[in-house]
Amino acid sequence: MPDLTAVKTALRAHRIELPSWAFGNTGTRFKVFAQPGVPRTPQEKIEDAAQVHAFTGVAPTVAVHIPWDKVDDYAALAAFAKEHGVAIGTVNANVFQDDDYRLGSVCNPDPRVRRKAVNHLLECVDIMDATGSKDLKLWFADGTNYPGQDDIAARQDRLAEALGTVYRRLGPSQRMLLEYKLFEPSFYTTDVPDWGTALLHCVALGPAAGVAFMLDQCHNIEPKIPAQIRSVMNVQEATAKALLIDRDALAGAQQAGDVLGANAVLMDAYNTDVRPLLAELRVEMGLDPDPVGAYLRSGYPQKIVADRVGGTQASWGS
């Protein structure tokens, strides 16, 4: 059986990064749904993310998205985050919300567009320098919609050239994270469609290229902060179950070719109710065992609705 003390130690050290854009108004491709109390500035997004960390204890960094979180003074933004008990995490580039990127950004056949995209990526590294961020996260909407639209191999070469330029700009303690998504948003080919493509580019670049663990989701109709708290708890619960797998028993069953036995070991952990374990851990960490309930009782939901009147709420694209 797994050592519960070791499981708790691992869970206590677990860190889950939050996305700033999750606290703005979001929706489906048909409608963005507005909510009262939604942040109007990057600072207010950080305030809300800090609430998630305050009640979970495992979300100490906030990923920012440029230009959605653009400010005049990024060092001041980092200081603001520190004052609220969190830090600026991954800097996310945006090379998909511009008419120039209709045929792609760093993979675009037009050298002018590629230079524009790379310049933005380099700007994001400058922002990392100012905020103390260690990670640059890249997602490219680049791809094609029709066979023959572009030279697919040439697009990979353009991608590699752009990544190499940005990689060489990274500081000694900084990393580049290359995200992949299947079939999004292109209909025929996506230039970074899967982990294999991302892995090959990262291996070619060097040890400072890879992936990281963070949330990248938006809650469209539910209140933003408790929804993010719930998501953090979901990740904690899944991680706790993974840590409870009896690795020795599983390896023994696998080696013996015991198909049902190996499955039973896995399902025993999967079917374990880990909520009491996590509640106990939170108490040991000086936290309320019920993070969502504690947040709802804190008065913060009512405060932001009352205070955040006027201005323009953050939303997709802003």
Structure tokens at 118: 């790379």
Q: Are residues 172 and 42 in the same domain?
A: yes
Q: Is residue 1 part of a domain?
A: no
Q: Are residues 152 and 271 in the same domain?
A: no
Average pLDDT along the chain, 318 residues, taken 10 residues at a time:
90 96 91 94 98 98 97 98 98 96 98 98 98 97 96 98 98 96 86 95 96 87 96 97 97 98 98 97 98 98 97 83
End of a domain among 176, 210, 244?
Answer: 210
Q: How many CB atoms lie within 10 A of CB 159?
A: 23
Q: How far apart are CA 175 and CA 89, in angstroms?
A: 11
Domain of residue 126 covers: 16-210
Q: Are residues 95 and 160 in the same domain?
A: yes
Which residues share a beta bridge with 62?
Answer: 18, 88
Q: What pLDDT is stored for residue 317 in this prediction?
A: 63
Q: Are residues 32 and 118 in the same domain?
A: yes
Asked if 245 contacts 3 with a C-beta cutoff of 8 angstroms, the reply is: no
Which residues share a beta bridge with 280?
Answer: none
Q: Are residues 67 and 171 in the same domain?
A: yes
Within 13 Å, how many C-alpha atoms sit on residue 226's CB side? 14
Q: What pLDDT is stored for residue 318 in this prediction?
A: 62
Q: Is residue 318 part of a domain?
A: no
Q: Is residue 5 part of a domain?
A: no
Asked if 76 contacts 114 with a C-beta cutoff of 8 angstroms, the reply is: no
Q: Are residues 155 and 65 in the same domain?
A: yes
Q: Is residue 315 part of a domain?
A: no
Supply φ then ψ for residue 260, to 5 degrees. -70, -35
Q: Are residues 205 and 235 in the same domain?
A: no
Q: Is residue 70 part of a domain?
A: yes
Q: Are residues 73 and 175 in the same domain?
A: yes
Q: What CATH number is given to the structural domain containing 144?
A: 3.20.20.150
Q: Is residue 271 part of a domain?
A: yes
End of a domain among 187, 210, 233?
Answer: 210
Q: Is residue 86 part of a domain?
A: yes
Q: Are residues 78 and 26 in the same domain?
A: yes
Q: How far apart are CA 10 and CA 120, in angstroms?
A: 37
Beta strands per DSSP E along the chain? 18-19, 26-27, 32-33, 61-65, 87-92, 135-138, 143-144, 175-178, 189-190, 209-210
Q: What pLDDT is stored for residue 214 in this prediction?
A: 86
CA angle 52, 280, 8 (to 5 degrees): 85
In the chain, the number of structural domains is 2
Q: Is residue 102 part of a domain?
A: yes
End of a domain among 210, 235, 269?
Answer: 210
Q: How far apart are CA 197 and CA 259, in angstroms?
A: 32
Q: Are residues 72 and 206 in the same domain?
A: yes
The DSSP symbol for 93 reads: P
Q: Are residues 38 and 176 in the same domain?
A: yes
Q: How many CB atoms lie within 10 A of CB 63?
A: 24
Structure tokens at 69: 């979180």
Q: Are residues 32 and 99 in the same domain?
A: yes
Question: What burial class does residue 17 get, using C-beta atoms within 10 Å of its C-beta: 0-12 exposed, 13-18 middle, 19+ buried?
Answer: buried
